[in-house]
Amino acid sequence: MYLLFPGRHHLLTKYQKEYLLKLVRHGLSETLDLFGNPLGISNPPTAIIFAVTSANHNNTRRNPLSLYQRAMMIQDFSKELELPSYVIPIDDIGQSPNFASYTLKKIEVETELKLSLSPENTVVLCSTPVANLYLKLGFKILPVEKVPGPKLEFFAKLPWEELEDIVLKRKQSNRNGDGFREIHNSEKTKPSSFESGQSETYNQLDPASIRLWKDYGLFEKVDMLFSDTLIGDDGDLTESRDYNTYVREMDEIAELKYHETKPFVKPGRIGDIGCAVGSWIKLIGSEPNFLESDFYGVEIARHLYQICEQRKENGEFINPNVFFLRKNAVSGLVFPQLSMNTIHTSSLTHEIESYGGRDQLFSFLKNRYEELVLGGVWINRDVVGPEGKEKEVFVWMEEDSGTNHGRRPEEFPNFKEFLDSLSTKERFFQFQRDFRKEEGYVLRASRVFVDGIEYQRMKLGDICEYISKKDYTDNWESEMHESFCFWSFSEWKKNLESIGFRISPKSCEYRNEWLVQNRYEGKVKLFTSNNDNPVKAEDLMPFDLPVTHMLMLAEK
């Protein structure tokens, strides 16, 4: 009789070891099932199958450990179980009512059809609602940590609860100055208390978990993951982004980024932080001048990182020395100090400001400075705010393109179609309601009539935020969190110089003329006035649309 033990298995506990040993040594007949009834199976356990779910995920709060680390821990854990044990990776397929059947099929495939699990030859061990999926397939369930019966009571904490408790206790200990460092520092002044598992913080963990987490520095890694406010539980900046659209856009502008930045890339160790799908590395790496260089793509978004790895496996990179890392460049260094000749980022720093805040942006800037060799360069291509963004302007917006006719969002198949039905002026009012609402930002605008024509009076920075986002209707919810105009070009220079960077005179700010011609002209017009209350057309002076982007070359 097989024992199927599905779970993410980032931690293994003493309770789980004791439970499994009891099943192995005393059999299954009298063990109580999920409903509190004796299992009544006379056949003894013959093998334990650890189905490791979310096996393709790692480096996030929900899934901090890689598959290989979990497999090592399970094999160490299983040495005392006196039965063969199998570690089977189960990829994440999201919330699916077919997850149990998918797991069973994946076990068959991964074992080349040697393990075919059925209700007749397998008992499932599960303490979570996932057990219901196996119940529907006819399997008997052993509840492990859960008390048998209808009440939601548990004999022991679930491993994930143990992990959250450890994170909390370590945070408290570190604040008090008596944390894990006392147990696990480079000198190992007190190894025995940790390695024996007697520390109060870790005393529910199986020694196999303690050994792996200690040897690989995983407690410190989890400290970082749980303290990071920028990245979500699954390792993405935002849960509302349409990645199919995003990937297509990244590939479409890769050539532009490549030609704009190529003259400033220094050979050697070259890093692309926020590399998306690796398009910039692919182009730069094919240049003869860089064939001897090493390229490091860093991407925190799980979906994009997986595409990078797939492209590498497909042989899309001419340079063999291309490596991808899934790391967070905000909360720490991603490269060793004084190791990088060139660091490249594109359309990233505004996201750090938008989702993480000013402190995290400064942390990012300082980390890049630390990583560069003397003479190295950080090439930062991103959006930028206008100079004088607090300046008051008068804005005309077209209002004849709308097809909405007063319909509400719920009357459309999706929110994108609702937005597309709005004229430029109508969409502005939706933007005014949505823009950084969750962050508490209030976009103030007032209506003014000059010679019978309606204008909106507002800050220059605010109208720049709107026109830069008004056409991204397929990612509207995500775009509403993002601030493009928080710093002007001169403010960027000032803040980078305060860290120690020297700004190359070849750095520049510029206006994307394609945007002007294809998205702004005929849609918006900007004016200023020397009159606080303009009433005639001659009171308004045309104001050119300001810069949209910058190429900042920050040298060490």
Among 510, 354, 379, which Cα is nearest to 438's?
A: 354
Place of tokens 């950080």: 378
Return the structure tokens found at 517. Answer: 């011609």
Q: What is the 3 state secondary structure string of 303-369?
A: HHHHHHHHHHHCCCCCCCCEEEECCCCCCCCCCCCCCEEEEEEECCHHHHHHHHCHHHHHHHHHHHH
Per-residue pLDDT tens digits of the chain, which is 556 residues long: 999 999 999 999 999 999 999 999 999 999 999 999 999 999 999 999 999 999 988 767 788 899 999 999 999 999 999 899 999 999 988 788 999 999 999 999 999 989 999 999 999 999 999 999 999 999 999 999 999 988 889 999 999 899 988 888 887 776 665 443 333 333 333 333 344 334 567 889 999 999 999 999 888 878 766 765 555 545 444 444 455 555 566 666 788 889 999 999 999 999 999 998 999 999 999 998 898 899 999 988 777 888 899 889 999 999 888 999 988 788 789 998 999 999 999 999 999 999 999 999 999 999 999 999 999 999 999 999 999 999 999 999 999 999 999 999 999 999 999 999 999 999 999 999 999 999 999 999 999 999 999 999 999 999 999 999 999 999 899 999 999 999 999 999 999 999 999 999 999 999 999 999 999 999 999 999 999 889 899 999 999 999 999 999 999 9
pLDDT score recorded for residue 365: 97
Cβ atoms of 82 and 24 closer than 8 Å: yes
Burial (Cβ within 10 Å: 0-12, 13-18, ≥19) of residue 82: exposed
Strands 322-325 and 294-298: parallel
CA distances from 234 to 92, 220, 222, 476 (A): 11, 18, 13, 21
* 3-class state of residue 275 by DSSP: coil
pLDDT score recorded for residue 228: 55
CA angle 102–106–111, rounded 5-degree value: 155
CA atoms within 13 A on the CB side of 27: 9
Cβ atoms of 393 and 541 closer than 8 Å: no
Among 389, 551, 553, 379, which Cα is nearest to 483's?
A: 389
Return the structure tokens found at 416. Answer: 């994108």
Return the structure tokens found at 508. Answer: 């520049």
Residue type, 147: V
Cα distance between residue 155 and residue 151, in whole Å: 12
Count of other CB atoms within 10 angstroms of residue 474: 19
Cβ atoms of 54 and 62 closer than 8 Å: yes
Q: What is the DSSP letter of 290?
A: G
Place of tokens 């334990």: 48
Cα distance between residue 5 and residue 57, in whole Å: 19
CA atoms within 13 A on the CB side of 515: 17
Long-range contacts of 164-173 (CB under 8 A, 24+ apart): 166/201, 166/202, 166/219, 166/222, 167/222, 167/223, 167/226, 169/200, 169/201, 170/201, 170/219, 170/223, 171/223, 171/226, 171/227, 173/201
Which residues have a Cβ under 8 Å from the Cβ of 282 and sit 6 or more positions away?
A: 254, 311, 316, 317, 318
Cα distance between residue 313 and residue 195, in whole Å: 39
pLDDT score recorded for residue 536: 92
Cα distance between residue 29 and residue 41, in whole Å: 5
Return the structure tokens found at 57. Answer: 């995920």
pLDDT score recorded for residue 253: 74
pLDDT score recorded for residue 195: 40
Cβ atoms of 309 and 324 closer than 8 Å: yes
pLDDT score recorded for residue 196: 38
pLDDT score recorded for residue 483: 96
pTM above 0.75, yes or no: no
Among 520, 524, 457, 464, which Cα is nearest to 489's?
A: 464
CA atoms within 13 A on the CB side of 260: 23
CA distances from 253 to 112, 245, 246, 318, 428 (A): 43, 13, 11, 20, 26
* 3-class state of residue 58 by DSSP: coil
pLDDT score recorded for residue 192: 36
Cβ atoms of 72 and 208 closer than 8 Å: no
Long-range contacts of 515-524 (CB under 8 A, 24+ apart): 515/468, 515/548, 516/545, 519/467, 519/470, 519/471, 520/467, 520/545, 522/398, 523/397, 523/398, 523/424, 523/467, 523/470, 524/395, 524/396, 524/397, 524/398, 524/424, 524/463, 524/467
Cα torsion at 436, 547, 517, 379 (round to 10°)? -90
